[in-house]
Amino acid sequence: MKTVLITGASRGIGAAAARLFAKNGYAVAVNYCSSKEAADRLVAEITAQGGEAFAVQADVSKADEVKRMMQAVYDRCGHLDVLIHNAGIAQQKLLTDTEEQEWHRMMGVHLDGAYHCCQAVIPAMVRQGYGSILTVSSIWGVTGASCEAPYSAAKAGLIGFSKALAKELGPSNIRVNCVAPGVIQTDMCASFDENTLRGLADDTPLGRLGKPEEVAEALLFLASDNASYITGQVLGVNGGFVV
């Protein structure tokens, strides 16, 4: 059975990806940080539909927690075909109002998280002779967003990280790609008021915001053998917001 670990899968894009990968025959390790109930509910839903899933807690910014999570995943699955580093946090603030600890938290979840998770899976992927690693960046990592300098920096960092790793791991038959979503209707956008959301939809050529399921489809494609000659790429899933 194919296996995938999705970080930040208790809600939003990660949860949509967990459902879709399970539907497509993957055993899914559902990572969560604090939303245990949501992760357990998702696992129960997937299992009830005949899929295979289990929840694993870890704050991906913490090396020891990621190590423990990976041990649990390998104990349970034996191997890992796909890693999706999707966990993320967002914050809208002037840079001058941003506390140092907020800056470090942003880098911790997105970049330290990518480092810890990839370090933990690469040796086994190299030994098995294949693997697919996906990171979830953002349009703001491509274009930059006002009042989101730390988030934009972290997401731009993930793009550089993914491209570099694609070059490093290509000879080991491990593909590394990045998905850069536009504005997607999840809890992450809950702090935006209706006017802001309508404005963002109006600025999108397709005239609406995205759904988590639409990002999940891109992740499934890039993870699959249908994308066997695609590595080091950044796929925008943004309704044409950035072209």
List active site positions. 151
Q: Which residue has the tokens 């796929």?
A: 235
Smallest distance from the beta carbon of 171 to ligand NAP, in angstroms? 28
Three-state DSSP state, 69:
helix
Three-state secondary structure of 142-170: HHCCCCCHHHHHHHHHHHHHHHHHHHHHH
**Which residues partner with 93 through β-bridges?**
none
Instruction: Write out the two tokens for 219.
Output: 């992740």
- Distance in Å, CB of 33 to ligand NAP, minimum: 3
CA 228 to chain centroid:
20
Using the minimum distance from each CB to ligand NAP, give the nearer residue, 34 or 119: 34
C-beta of 33 vs 223, nearer to ligand NAP: 33
**Closer residue to ligand NAP in complex, CB, 90/159:** 90
DSSP H or E stretch at residue 103: helix 100-107
Sign of CA dihedral 29, 107, 153, 156: negative
Shortest CB 50 distance to ligand NAP, Å: 24
What minimum distance in Å lies between the beta carbon of 100 and ligand NAP?
A: 18
Nearest distance in Å: CB 208, ligand NAP: 13
Which neighbouring-strand residues pair with 139? none
Q: Determine the Cα–Cα distance for residues 53 and 1; give it in Å rounded to an integer.
A: 12
- What is the spatial distance between Cα 47 and Cα 107, in angstroms, rounded to a whole number? 34
Closer CB to ligand NAP, 52 or 213, in the complex: 213
- Cβ-in-10-Å burial (0-12, 13-18, 19+) of 171 comes to exposed
Decide whether 68 or 173 has the Cβ nearer to ligand NAP.
68
Interacting residues of 106 by C-beta distance below 8 A, sequence separation 6+: 89, 91, 150, 151, 153, 154
Query: Which positions touch ligand NAP (CB under 6 A)?
Result: 7-14, 31-35, 59-61, 86-90, 109, 136, 138, 181, 183-184, 186-189
